[in-house]
């Protein structure tokens, strides 16, 4: 289980750095965006397998979550309903849920942003949902080509979302810190006059293509 300190480190490091540092893996596709680009998110996934256009399982799932959990909902990328809105957001915040990642849409976006609740989704839809179909909670789900297990760590910001496996948190953090140190050195070198071509040793490649 990731500690609160580790979650804060991952949140501060950011999704892009963590993704690159852990070997360019775990990124959700670029269609998943925060409705408020200023939010940052890191927490263990409470996974939800939901039926399209039905949010019965979401009302159940929020009651199963522990403080700090991120609800990660596979709503099958259905774009013509918003199974999450302001009422569920208020309840989730009261229960200490850290945020929502939904492979689908939400509604009441302005109110959710005003409440400061991190939400990542495929889009917005004003259309309502039924409350008739069962789903599943705390089961493996797939978003795009990424398998997400319950308890995997979700890191998100305006750049996107990345999944860190439970047993790889320490490695992801140490690799990310090393990457940040390297990039800080590169920025200093550029300020001193070094070019990116020199830093990345691209001269031979450019020559091969007749560009220099």
Strand partners, 42: 155
Q: Are 206 and 197 in contact (CB under 8 A)?
A: yes
pTM: predicted TM-score of the whole model, two decimal places: 0.94
* Domain architecture of the chain: domains with CATH: 4-172 (3.50.30.40)
The closest alpha carbon to 155, from 176, 141, 139, belongs to: 176
Q: How does pLDDT run along the chain (212 residues), one tens digit per residue?
A: 899 999 999 999 999 999 999 999 999 999 999 999 999 999 999 999 999 999 999 999 999 999 999 999 999 999 999 999 999 999 999 999 999 999 999 999 999 999 999 999 999 999 999 999 999 999 999 998 999 999 999 999 999 999 999 999 999 999 999 999 999 999 999 999 999 999 999 999 999 999 98
The residue count of the chain comes to: 212
Collapsing DSSP to helix, strand or coil, 185 comes out as: helix
């Amino acid at each position: 289980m990731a500690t609160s300190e580790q979650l804060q480190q991952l949140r501060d490091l950011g999704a892009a750095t963590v993704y690159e540092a852990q070997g360019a893996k775990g990124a959700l596709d670029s269609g998943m965006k925060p409705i408020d680009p200023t939010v940052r998110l890191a927490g263990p996934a409470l996974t939800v397998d939901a039926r399209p256009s039905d949010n019965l399982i979401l009302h159940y799932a929020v009651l199963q979550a522990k403080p700090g959990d991120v609800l990660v909902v596979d709503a099958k990328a259905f774009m013509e309903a918003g199974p999450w809105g302001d009422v569920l957001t208020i309840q989730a915040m009261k229960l200490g849920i850290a945020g929502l990642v939904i492979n689908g849409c939400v509604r009441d976006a302005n109110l959710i942003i005003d409440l400061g609740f991190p939400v990542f989704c495929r889009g917005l839809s004003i259309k309502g949902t039924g409350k008739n179909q069962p789903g599943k909670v705390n089961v493996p789900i797939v978003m795009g080509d990424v398998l997400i297990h319950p308890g995997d760590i979700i890191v998100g910001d305006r750049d996107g979302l990345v999944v860190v496996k439970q047993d790889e948190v320490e490695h992801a953090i140490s690799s990310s810190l090393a990457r940040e140190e390297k990039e800080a050195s590169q920025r200093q070198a550029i300020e001193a006059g070094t070019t990116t071509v020199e830093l990345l040793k691209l001269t031979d490649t450019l020559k091969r293509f007749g560009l220099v």
